[in-house]
Amino acid sequence: MGVNTAIYSPSGGSVGIAFAIPASTVKAVVDQLKAKGSVSRGWIGVQIQPVTPEIADSLGLKKPEGALVAEPQVGGPAAKAGVESGDVITRVNDVPVKDARELARTIGGMAPGQTVKLVVVHKGQDKNLSMTLGELPNAKQAKADTDQDSDGGKATKGTSVPNLGLTLAPANSVAGAGKDGVVVTGVDPNSPSADRGFKEGDVILEIAGKLVASPAEVSDAMKTAKADNKNSVLVRVKSGESSRFVALPVAKG
């Protein structure tokens, strides 16, 4: 049973399509509003993303389940507890986590200050952690973009990595790209990288859990994955202020 929050109506009248939230969620919200006049939700301070079959394969997971941590927020509850980029959260208080959405719902339904136990897959091994939930911030502060290129946005030519369909340059050689990783200065539109959303200005921070600082290190990491008969390799990419993991196929030719 749920409570409608919106309806779909191309004509102004009801066509029987609605968007609802569970009654249990409504009850929790109403109880908090009655008790203190506001709603607070638990928060662990991580950017998470779904575990796709490709990502599961690259991490050696049996099933594409859990929530992949793209990046823990500095100073957040998860970071303080030892959660790292690339970890997969699989259980909360001994309850399995099916996917990223379920983790968000579960943590959001808990009270700030509550202690929770997590099981994460860290570099192929289960790891047990305990943390105290923070409170979900009500709003994000706007931040000025200080990463603009001093050359008006013109990218360095860089070095081509044909198997990936990317042209890369050390981030520290490109104005505004930062000091860490390798910046994407060109993308072949017909490449697997383009299919997976890579674009100019993205910064590759690590491949298969290892930091990279040059196009040669990126090429070497892909060669190592090929020698190890990997089908795909996990790449951590920074786009603007956020980061994500992408599973890139390993060329077999």
Same domain, 129 and 207: no
Same domain, 131 and 67: yes
Max distance between CA atoms of the chain, in angstroms, equals 64
- Nearest C-alpha neighbor of 92 from the set 128, 124, 59: 128
Does 23 map to a domain?
no
CATH number at residue 106: 2.30.42.10
Distance CA 70, CA 8 (A): 34
Contact 61, 51 (CB under 8 A): yes
- Nearest C-alpha neighbor of 198 from the set 211, 208, 180, 185: 185
Same domain, 117 and 57: yes
Does 5 map to a domain?
no
Q: For the purposes of burial, counting CB atoms within 10 Å of the CB of 198, is it exposed (0-12), middle (13-18) or buried (19 or more)?
A: buried
pTM above 0.95, yes or no: no
The Cβ of residue 182 has, within 10 Å, a number of other Cβ atoms equal to 31
Does 2 map to a domain?
no
Distance CA 125, CA 121 (A): 5
Same domain, 76 and 128: yes
Place of tokens 């060669």: 223
Question: How many structural domains is the chain composed of?
Answer: 2
Does 237 map to a domain?
yes
Same domain, 128 and 209: no
CA dihedral 158, 160, 166, 170 (to 10 degrees): -40
Q: Residue 93 gets which letter from DSSP?
A: T
Provide the β-strand partners of residue 235: 207, 246
Distance CA 53, CA 233 (A): 12
Task: Kindly give the confidence (pLDDT) of every residue in the chain, 253 residues in length, as a single tens digit, with 9 standing for 90 and above.
Answer: 555 555 555 555 555 565 555 665 555 555 555 565 555 688 999 999 999 999 999 999 999 999 999 999 999 999 999 999 999 999 999 999 999 999 999 998 898 999 999 999 999 999 999 999 998 776 444 343 334 443 444 445 789 988 899 999 999 888 888 889 999 999 999 999 999 999 999 999 999 999 999 999 999 999 999 999 989 999 999 998 889 999 999 877 6
Does 48 map to a domain?
yes
Contact 44, 76 (CB under 8 A): yes
Q: How far is CA 56 from CA 16, 34, 76, 233, 244, in A?
A: 38, 43, 26, 10, 15
Same domain, 172 and 220: yes
Same domain, 120 and 165: no
Show the domain range for 110: 42-135
Distance CA 6, CA 131 (A): 36
Task: Tell me which of 135, 150, 185 is where a domain ends.
Answer: 135
Q: Residue 133 gets which letter from DSSP?
A: -
Same domain, 165 and 128: no
Beta-carbon contacts of residue 162 (< 8 Å; ≥ 6 apart):
none
